[in-house]
Amino acid sequence: MSLINFIDIKSLGDSRGDLISLEENGNIPFSIKRVYYIFNTEQGVARGFHAHKALRQVAFCIAGQCEFILDDGKNRQTVLLDSPTKGILIEHMQWREMHNFSEGCILMVIASEHYDESDYIRDYEQFLREVNQ
Ligand code: T46
């Protein structure tokens, strides 16, 4: 079973350029509580290395590209995010890592919940225990 669920967004572009619209419970499959973006990532830096107990998210590279690793405790898959029209759905209890950020990468994330540090599992062994129980 693939861990990678792409969210393909149709651009509403015309001869003037492109336009992407994101709507909760529409092309984003949950109610949106938060949006954040990651930029100015130094070359060679990797981020993530955690799972969330409940949070669901959709991630897009709206500029540049980066690689996501998703891991459900049994399988691990890598995907390249390289288009503002191509998002991935990151479900709860999926370990994620982000690698190989290009220069100028802007990673935008749409989240189903407000920020809550207690929702994070930042230890991989703890994640394996919880996801496999
Ligand atoms: C995720 C991946 C894709 C906040 O205060 N509010 C926020 O909404 C967020 C997202 C972070 N923070 C604080 C917590 C840390 O002190 O910002 C700092 C950096 O966060 P973190 O180290 O968790 O960043 P990443 O890039 O490892 O992970 C982030 C998200 O936290 C996470 O939910 O799924 O991007």
User: How many domains does the chain divide into?
Assistant: 1
What average pLDDT does this structure show over 2-6? 95
89: which 2 tokens?
Answer: 């759905």
In order of 21, 30, 67, 90, 111, the CA distances from 24 in angstroms are 10, 6, 25, 15, 10
For 23-71, write each residue's pLDDT tens digit: 999 999 999 999 999 999 999 999 999 999 999 999 999 999 999 999 9
**Per-residue confidence (pLDDT) for residue 26, from 0 to 100:** 97
Ligand 1 lining (C-beta closer than 6 Å): 34, 36, 38, 47-48, 57, 59, 96, 109, 115
- Other C-beta atoms closer than 10 Å to the C-beta of 17 total 7
For residue 110, give the amino acid letter: I
pTM: 0.97
Alpha-carbon distance of 38 to 131, in angstroms, equals 27
Specify the CATH number for the domain of residue 81: 2.60.120.10
**Per-residue confidence (pLDDT) for residue 1, from 0 to 100:** 76
For 16-73, where are the E strands, in sequence order?
A: 34-38, 47-52, 57-63, 66-71
Question: Which of 33, 47, 127 has the most ligand 1 atoms within 8 A of CB, as the residue to mutate?
Answer: 47
Q: Domain of 26?
A: 5-131
Q: Whose CA is nearest to atom 24 of ligand 1?
A: 48
**Per-residue confidence (pLDDT) for residue 8, from 0 to 100:** 97
Alpha-carbon distance of 48 to 122, in angstroms, equals 9
* Residues 50, 25, 48: CA angle, nearest 5 degrees: 15
Active site residue 99: no
